[in-house]
Amino acid sequence: MGWFLENAWLIPLLPLIGFAVITLTPIQRNKNASAWLATLLMVGATIIAVGTAVEVAGGVKIAMDGTVAAHAEESHAAEPAAEKGAGHGFEWRDPNIVRTIRWAPAGGDVPFTMGYIIDPAVAAMLMMVTVTATCIHLFSVGYMAHDPRQARFFSFISLFTAAMLAMVMASNLLLFFMAWEIMGLCSYLLIGFWYDKNYADPNQITPRQAAIKAFITTRIGDVLFMIGLAWLWTEAGTLELGAGPGQVFNPELLERLATTTTGIGISAATGIALLIFSGTIGKSAQFPLHVWLPDAMEGPTPVSALIHAATMVSAGVFLTARTFPIFQVSDALPVVATIGAFTALFAALIAVGQFDIKRILAYSTLSQLGFMVAALGIGGWVAAMFHLLTHAFFKALLFLGSGSVIHGMEATVGHDSNTAQDIRNMGGLRRFMPVTFLAYMAGFLALAGFPGFAGFWSKDEILADAFRANTLVWVVLSLASLLTAFYMTRQIMVVFFGSFRGHHPRQQPYAFVSHDDHHYEAHDPHESPWTMTTPLVILALFAVFAGVVNLPFDGFHHLADFFGQEAGKLNLLVMGISGAIAIGGILLGWLVYRNAFASSAEEADPLERMMPGVFTVLNRKFYFDELYAATVGVAAAVLARVWTWLDEQVIDRVVVETGRLTRFLGQVNFIVDDALLNDGADLMATGTQVAGDRTRRTSTGKVQDYVALAFAGAVVLGVLYLYLVR
Amino acid sequence: MTDILRSWIGGALPDWVIVLIAYLLVTTIVLFYAVGNFIMMVWAERRVVARMQDRLGPNRVGPAGLLQPIADAVKMFTKEDIVPRSADQWVHLLAPIVSLAPVAMMLAVIPWGRGWEPIDLNVALLYIVAVSAVSGVGLMMAGWGSNNKFALLGAMRAVAQLVSYEIPAVTALLTVVILAGGMSLLELPYMQAGVPLMGATILCGDAAGCSPSLYTTVTSFPGSPGEPVQALDLGLGWWVFTPVGLLGFIVFFIAALAEGERTPFDIPEADSEIVAGYMTEYSGMKFATFYIAQYILNFALSALAATAFLGGWQGPGVAALANMGGPWVHVAAALSAFYLLAKIWVLFFVMIWLRGAFPRLRVDQLMDFAWKLLLPLALVNIVSASLMVGLTQWTSAQWGGLLSLDGFAPWQRQLIAILVTAIINIAAAYWILSINQRPTQEEWIEEELVVAS
Amino acid sequence: MTTEIQTEPTEVQTTRGGVYVIDRSRPRLRAGQGLLTGLDVVFRHFRDALTRKLEKPSQQTGVFTVQYPEERLKLPEAFRNFPILLYDDETGHELCTSCFQCQRICPPQVIHMTQARDPSTGKPVPAVAEFLIEYDACMSCGLCAEVCPFDAIKMDHEFEYSTDVHGGLTINKEALNRPISYYEKIAPSFWAEVKDSAMKKLQGNMKRRPDLIGVAPQMVEKIRAKRAESAAAQAPAPASATPDAAPADKAARLAAARARAAEKTAAEASAEPVSESTPADKAARLAAIRAANAAKKTDEGATEAPAPTGGAPTDKAARLAAIRAANAAKKSAEGADAASAPPAAEAPAPTTGDAPTDKAARLAAIRAANAAKKAAAQNDGSEE
Amino acid sequence: MPSMTEAVPLPWVLTLAGALFCVGLFGALSRRNTVGILLGIELMLNAVNINLVAFWRYLEPNVVAGQTFALFIITVAAAEAAIGLAMIIAIYRARQTVNADEVDSLRG
Amino acid sequence: MNTLITILFVVFAAFILASAIMTVTVKNIVHAALWLISSFFGVGALYLLMEAEFLGVAQVLIYVGAVSILILFAIMLTRDLEGSQNRQLTPRWWIALIVPAALFGLLIVPTVMTYAWQLPPPPAGQSPAISGAQQIGTAFMREYLLPFEVAAILLLVAMIGAIVIAFEERERRRRVLTLAEQVRLRRQQRQPAPLPEPAATAIQASEATGGES
């Protein structure tokens, strides 16, 4: 007992070893070897992570001195933490193991430490991350098989996985932030993985532009996050996670934070919480900073699945969940809820108007992350974590499925992402790719919230919490969930049903003239190799059955018990409504899209025919990119102009005028001097000149003379001190 | 030695006279030992190299040519001592002395046998390194004082080589310092008791029933420092058998070849290029002094390599004989001295062997080799050595609680450490060798074509 | 060592004999492997050199040193060092007919000889009276043996001639003579090629040689002893007049062979030589031969002799002739009586000098003396 | 065990160090050759080291600070020698001289 | 024994000072450097006398083994213009003599001699704990960690700086080819460029026509 907990540090270490080995050794010259090495190391990490989770579930706790205590049932898990209202039951539980080493002295009493901490939430996250990462590694072996930079790809995603796991396990917010930044770097590198790719359309965003955009956008949130950490450190003197003395969730400290009022009228806790939440906004692409995530789809599809659907973006949610005690004592929760709910609806609306299969999923991800954030905002901590886990599985599944679809489509329409990812060029794929279709259906039903699937249970729990806490939020989320079902049905209908249109794809407005794609026409889309379908099947199983870990019935709150938090209450009304919403959304989608694009890929979208204006707005993503370009971009340009003007017109002018004035004064002075003061001054000047001439000889330019003089001065001073002063 | 003299002479002389006599006696013995070895080395080198070239070598003077070095010495003594007119007289005169003296001083701290140690210096390793660095001054003096461009070139080459290869040599010796936890040379052979690879980590299970001829008392062994225990001892726990020691030994031995100006690195006296390097203007006894200095340096470096990595005087049977007590201790000492001498001669044979096999390097190759190959390997080896010490000797408290090996038996910890260091060293060696590979033909052809055009 | 690089050599037969082929191709070497391979090769040489000698050409390792004084390599048949003269084992007759071919072709001009004359008639016979070779200047080119039409001169295998005295390396006929069986032993196939023609020519020459002329000096004693034996057995016969006049020592024999006037020979020969066979002695003999040759030439052109003295003497014979002519002129002026006295007085002077460093001077002196003597004698003869 | 502290008074050692320092200073001030100046500076550094070691030995033999700082000074001396000689070589390349009194761009 | 140590100290001191004076006065700069080395040796011996073994050995290693070699190298790289017959002292060497003499006579000697040194009492029985190499190493890793790191960085910076300052830009460094490489290069240069194979051209042609049709 306890071996897995003791050696949990191996979990991030194994992918890190993979990264180091692939990067530093000649194994990088062999594509297959590097891919399989990374995958096998991930399998190892998965085994340890699952073992860790099992041990945590078994209640094993290891104290600092190494004594192992195994109790099957924690006593305090049963008793409700506090009767603060629905869902506000989060309470920091003692972790199962904490192991730290000191690595840098800090100004305060507590030095900075590095180490890992494992509690149920971490264990669940570890399991989720490792399982999805392993599946995606395996998927990538097939998906990236023909890429010349395969070794680099595996090195990057290994590094990313290591950073993500390290972040999850971090015992310390500083370490958390470091891993967070490494993830940001990996995200940048992987979005820009095909950095040499160019498009015919000059307005279409290229991978390298997307990478820069993602990096800079998230940087805004990260900087604010770091400021929040600095503030927290100033206030608390520590960044250790934990509720003990000298740790950030110490009740007295939280109390002090909540009562300290800053100059702008909010409490320190609120300020810190808002700043930390900025990190979440950046990383999880919440409303004002959401623009980078859809463009991040320019990266390889496994990257989209791993980083931009399952793990990294949910790290933002995890951040808020991790620092939830601070949020609890602050007034920031309404902000969180508002932003989350708004993003959920807003992104779902945009998703309706997209044609790129990956972008639809990307906006869906935004929307679902909005769900989680909103759930946190209304205090549904367990619901948020639950949805985070289930969403990771089925969204990774959907992305991998879309990757499989794209992989199949490329056989027909060529390696052009614009063509291969356009759902209008697909259709009827269920005949060609049965395994992908079935897995995709599982993911679709889970995401749409079809009763019985994983997404239904988790989303229902969020909705139930929202219904109890804030009706407005509930309404917004319900709308978003309806839209979710609708756009997913749209996608399914267009992609997998109907007739295959890929043999005559849409004409690209900027397509290259000489295509060498014509010889692909003969091919039909094909099913993907086993390395790609196996992860799909595994993840599909999760998508179907992952919900059972936390059914809203008494006695089935396994996850809540596991976390040691209060379980959500069963609300049959809400459950019925959400089930009806899901089924209604699917029916609506089926009605609208059952005959869409029946004739050709050039046909207009049915929704566009019904409401052309609205659809255009949705398709153009509410013109947010244009808005940012028009506001932030223009503001920056204007600011630059202003500074140029200031520099040229004001500062330079002042300098020039000062010069002129001085010159004028000088002329006046010259007259006075020449007429009045010349003789006496001449004498003085001559005297000075002679004196200077004499003095000048001491300045021989020879260093030795200067040193001799310096020492002579020292001797003189010393003699004065020794013989005269004393 | 002092004690023996005291017991012989007793109170007849004041104590400091006895100490002085003892010192002089030991110095004389050691120097005679070294010079005797020098003579045999000269003979052996000529004979062995001759055999490697399918010749017989000198075999006319004395039985099997054994008296050939004596004849050479007589010739050297009787040759005219020529000092070039434009040479710097004093510098020219002092140079051979300055290059021989430090070499002779190196012999002072080497343990020649079990209990046969001239001086116990607690910074002995550093002392040897420091003193051997002094001979560079002698070479520089020889090169400059001769007022000859070949001599100056040779001296510059010699000193550059000496300084460059000192770094890998010292770095390789640092692994020994890390393993031993100190810089004293006397402790090293005692620490290399035990069995190959595992060292003195196989403990006697039953304290009463362990044969003193097979088991020896070890005080500092991994796991429980300070408590004397009985460990299996065949006198073969040499560090060269562990991955760390092996890599360190290889690096140190190669660097020692360069420091002793042995053949692949005999660039300073490359006779086909710069006549005889810094020795160009020397003849007679001064030349012989340089010659002696060079061979004794080889001898001392071989002794150092043997002591640091090959167990020194340690060998099968020494501990058993010493455990028998009484006069057997002296037998053990003699046997141990023989072991050390045998190791030195094996190393010297390898030097001759290399001379028979390899051509001379170019200067740039020499520097590349030191800085791009030996030094990285030695640095990696330091990491390995630290890991080895940590894995075999640290408690979990010293690891910050991250790695707990407290419950393991010493031999298990040793095994883990050997596996880990072997992996690190092999991977590093492979990596460093692969990045140092010569460019393929296409690459350099391209480069040269660019240069040519 | 993973790669075995030194495969055993295989012998391949070609039209010109067997060739040993060693396969040195090897797979690509990784870093450091080449060094180890080199060490391996060297160690194999070391090991084998301790245990075995290099004997076959196919063998690549083993000691190849030959410890020379104790061990010697078998010399090949065609090995050549210095020339020797051959004589017939049975009859003792030398193969040399004194044809002067070798003397002419010798690049360093170290071969000197005089032709034997019939003492009774004074006519030259196809045999050599004295034959000298200066080994110290010989360059072992073998041209003399090449040109010899009678296969009389051959190249020897003996090469250990080192000495600290140059003059000791001027070898006379007795020292040069070897029996044919000796040469047959060192070069059997070469001798077999020429044996028949050489013996045939020898038979022809022997017929033209009166008495013991042309017999190797070693054999002369033997033959003479045999004859004396047979004569003693029969009766004191008047058959041999010459033996009385010929003294036992070599110089006397040389003089006997050289002299044309029988009555003068004995007296001169006894006066000229010195007791020991010093280098000077040999040098004197050499000078005598040269002078004799020169004199022989003056036989042919006595009237022309003064002419070259006016011009620059470019050729050795001419120079000798000039000296001789000068001396002869002097001697003829002094008179016939004194002609024999000064040479006899002069000749010992250089020979008794205990450090004859200047060979040339000595040679010139002897040569001049002898030439004068000969010229005087000849002048007497011709004037009378 | 006899020791230096009993045999030699501390002021002797300090005087030796001071004399060495002054000799070094003289060398640094008077040499024309730049390398000679460097030699003088090395002597001065050695004098300081002698002082440090002497204070350690006589006053605080249980504290390692004296030796530690002597080692730091040795380090600094090594760095100084490397940089100084590099500068000398650079000056020599630029001006073909190593004479300190010819390098006087600072002259007023 | 104390007398012996006193004598040794005096000898060492005289040796150090004599070598130092020779260093600063001797004409030939190489001789000066050699005298400096002997002075270093004397200081090392003094350290040993003061029972600072590690420091003594380090002195020999660093000063004699490295710094002086460096100095000798520098002298030999810059020496050819500096004949030993040139004037070795600056014209104002008397100033340079007065200042150190005043420093020594007026400041150092009076201060050292008159100050009341608070020497600790001689230990009774055993000698005081002398810190050896191990203690120094521990000190470097504990309380002097920061200075230690700074010294390391200083050395690194000095090394890089020395290289940068003294680096001589060459036109282009050319690798010296071995004989085998030269032969191979020649052979390759001699070979004409390989002609395109007829089969390949045929295929290209057919492709071209196929593309047109």
Q: Give B14-53 pLDDT, tens digit per residue.
A: 777 777 888 888 888 888 888 889 988 989 998 898 888 8
Q: Give C26-83 pLDDT, tens digit per residue.
A: 555 566 677 888 888 888 888 888 888 877 766 777 888 888 888 888 888 888 888 9
Instruction: Specify the CATH number for the domain of residue C175.
Output: 3.30.70.3270
E contact residues 76-135, partner D, Cβ 8 Å cutoff: 77-78, 81-82, 86-91, 93, 95-97, 99-101, 103-104, 108-109, 112-113, 117-120, 122, 127-131, 135
What six digits make up the tokens of C32? 């450091």
The rounded mean pLDDT for chain B is: 83
**Dist CA A515 CA A17 (whole Å):** 43
* pLDDT band, residue C304 (cuts 50/70/90): very low
Find which of C29, C46, C56 to mutate to test the B interface (most B CBs within 10 Å of its CB).
C46
Residue C162 resides in a domain: yes
Residue B218 resides in a domain: yes
Backbone Cα Rg of chain B: 24
Closest residue to E47, CB basis, from D29, D53, D80: D53
| E153: contact with B, CB 8 A cutoff | no
* pLDDT band, residue C257 (cuts 50/70/90): low
Inter-chain CB proximity A699 and D106 less than 8 Å: yes
Residue A78 pLDDT > 90, yes or no? no
Closest residue to E133, CB basis, from B183, B362, B445: B183
Question: What's the confidence (pLDDT) of residue B379?
Answer: 92
Residue C78 resides in a domain: no
Q: If residue A354 lies in a helix (H) or strand (E), which one and from where to where?
A: none
Inter-chain CB proximity A719 and E106 less than 8 Å: yes
- pLDDT-wise least confident of A651-655, B103-107, C168-172, E91-95: E91-95
Question: What's the confidence (pLDDT) of residue E16?
Answer: 93
C59 and C105 both lie in a single domain: no
| B355: contact with C, CB 8 A cutoff | no
- Give the total number of structural domains in chain C: 3
Using a CB-CB cut-off of 8 Å, the residues of chain B touching C64 are: 54-55
Residue C248 pLDDT > 50, yes or no? no
**Dist CA A405 CA A533 (whole Å):** 11
Chain A residue nearest residue D106, CA to CA: A701
* Residue C347 lies in domain: 238-383
Residue E76 pLDDT > 70, yes or no? yes
C217 and C242 both lie in a single domain: no
Inter-chain CB proximity C49 and B354 less than 8 Å: no
Closest residue to E117, CB basis, from D10, D35, D38: D10
The residue that leads in pLDDT, B244 or B2, is B244
Residue B97 pLDDT > 80, yes or no? yes
Question: What's the confidence (pLDDT) of residue A240?
Answer: 84
Q: Which residue, among B273, B246, B303, B275, has the nearest Cα to B125 in the 3D structure?
A: B303
**Residue type for position B268:** P
Using a CB-CB cut-off of 8 Å, the residues of chain E touching A719 are: 102, 106-107
C37 and C146 both lie in a single domain: no
Cα A57 to Cα A54, A74, A133, A531: the distances in Å are 5, 10, 22, 31
**Dist CA B302 CA B306 (whole Å):** 6
C155 and C251 both lie in a single domain: no
The full length of chain C comes to: 384
For chains E and A, having 3+ Cβ pairs within 8 Å is answered yes
For chains C and E, having 3+ Cβ pairs within 8 Å is answered no
C326 and C197 both lie in a single domain: no
C210 and C334 both lie in a single domain: no
Closest residue to E119, CB basis, from D33, D59, D101: D59
Question: What's the confidence (pLDDT) of residue C89?
Answer: 81
Distance from CA of A9 to the nearest CA of B (A): 9
Question: What's the confidence (pLDDT) of residue A522?
Answer: 52
Using a CB-CB cut-off of 8 Å, the residues of chain C touching B434 are: 31
The residue that leads in pLDDT, C218 or B241, is B241
Q: Give A355-386 pLDDT, tens digit per residue.
A: 888 888 989 998 999 999 998 888 888 888 88
Cα A142 to Cα A133, A155, A266, A535: the distances in Å are 15, 16, 53, 11
Residue C323 pLDDT > 70, yes or no? no
What six digits make up the tokens of B19? 């100490």
Q: Give B324-363 pLDDT, tens digit per residue.
A: 777 888 888 888 889 999 999 999 999 999 988 888 888 8
Find which of E38, E72, E179 to mutate to test the B interface (most B CBs within 10 Å of its CB).
E72
| E15: contact with D, CB 8 A cutoff | no
| E176: contact with B, CB 8 A cutoff | yes
C270 and C339 both lie in a single domain: yes
Using a CB-CB cut-off of 8 Å, the residues of chain B touching A102 are: 400
**Dist CA C18 CA C16 (whole Å):** 7
Residue C232 resides in a domain: no
Contact A160, A187 (CB under 8 A): yes
Inter-chain CB proximity D20 and E9 less than 8 Å: no
For chains B and E, having 3+ Cβ pairs within 8 Å is answered yes
Inter-chain CB proximity B52 and C49 less than 8 Å: yes
**Dist CA A287 CA B152 (whole Å):** 76
A701 φ, ψ (degrees, to nearest 5): 80, 0
Question: What's the confidence (pLDDT) of residue A162?
Answer: 93
Inter-chain CB proximity A101 and B427 less than 8 Å: no
Residue-wise DSSP of A636-682: HHHHHHHHHHIIIIIIHHHHHHHHHHHHHHHHHHHHHIIIIIHHHHH
Distance from CA of B373 to the nearest CA of C (A): 12
Using a CB-CB cut-off of 8 Å, the residues of chain B touching E177 are: 448
Whether ipTM tops 0.90, in short, is no
Mean pLDDT for E138-163 is 86
Q: A422: helix, coil or strand?
A: strand
Chain A residue nearest residue D36, CA to CA: A704
Residue C231 resides in a domain: no
What six digits make up the tokens of A167? 């972040």
Question: What's the confidence (pLDDT) of residue B303?
Answer: 92
Residue C173 resides in a domain: yes
C153 and C88 both lie in a single domain: yes
Residue C141 resides in a domain: yes
- pLDDT-wise least confident of A507-511, B249-253, B285-289, D55-59: A507-511
Chain A residue nearest residue E92, CA to CA: A705
Which residues, 6+ apart, have CB-to-CB distance to A541 below 8 Å? none
Residue C369 pLDDT > 80, yes or no? no
Opening angle at CA C164, ends C158 and C169, nearest 5? 50
C216 and C328 both lie in a single domain: no
Q: Give D60-105 pLDDT, tens digit per residue.
A: 777 788 888 888 888 888 888 888 888 888 887 777 777 766 766 6
The residue that leads in pLDDT, C54 or E87, is C54
Question: What's the confidence (pLDDT) of residue E103?
Answer: 84
Chain A residues contacting B via beta carbons under 8 Å: 6, 9, 24-26, 64, 66, 99-102
Q: Where are the alpha helices (DSSP H) in E29-87?
A: 29-49, 53-59, 68-78
Contact D87, E165 (CB under 8 A): yes
Question: What's the confidence (pLDDT) of residue A636?
Answer: 84
| C333: contact with B, CB 8 A cutoff | no
Mean pLDDT for A632-656 is 88
Find which of C5, C42, C64 to mutate to test the B interface (most B CBs within 10 Å of its CB).
C42
**Residue type for position C179:** P
**Listed residues C23, C49, C73: the one ending a domain:** C73
pTM comes to 0.58
Inter-chain CB proximity C46 and B358 less than 8 Å: no
Report the largest interatomic distance among the alpha carbons of chain C, rounded to a whole angstrom.
100
C289 and C373 both lie in a single domain: yes
Mean pLDDT for E172-198 is 65
- Give the total number of structural domains in chain B: 1
Using a CB-CB cut-off of 8 Å, the residues of chain E touching B121 are: 53
Using a CB-CB cut-off of 8 Å, the residues of chain E touching B123 are: 53-54, 57, 132-133
Inter-chain CB proximity B431 and A66 less than 8 Å: no
Residue C233 resides in a domain: no
**Residue type for position C23:** D
For chains A and C, having 3+ Cβ pairs within 8 Å is answered no
Inter-chain CB proximity E113 and D59 less than 8 Å: no
Q: What angle do helix axes A530-545 and A434-448 make, rounded to 10 degrees?
A: 30
Helix, strand, coil in percent for chain E, rounding step 5: 70, 0, 30
**Listed residues C50, C73, C96: the one ending a domain:** C73
Chain B residues contacting A via beta carbons under 8 Å: 400-402, 404, 427, 430-431, 434
C103 and C218 both lie in a single domain: yes
**Which chains have 3+ CB pairs within 8 A of D?**
A, E
Residue B165 resides in a domain: yes
Question: What's the confidence (pLDDT) of residue C333?
Answer: 52
Using a CB-CB cut-off of 8 Å, the residues of chain E touching D61 are: 128-131
| D28: contact with A, CB 8 A cutoff | yes
Chain A residue nearest residue B431, CA to CA: A25
Residue B290 resides in a domain: yes
Which residues, 6+ apart, have CB-to-CB distance to A499 below 8 Å? A427, A428, A598
What six digits make up the tokens of E89? 């002292």
Residue B249 pLDDT > 90, yes or no? yes
E191 φ, ψ (degrees, to nearest 5): -65, 135
C106 and C201 both lie in a single domain: yes
* Residue B98 lies in domain: 79-399+406-442
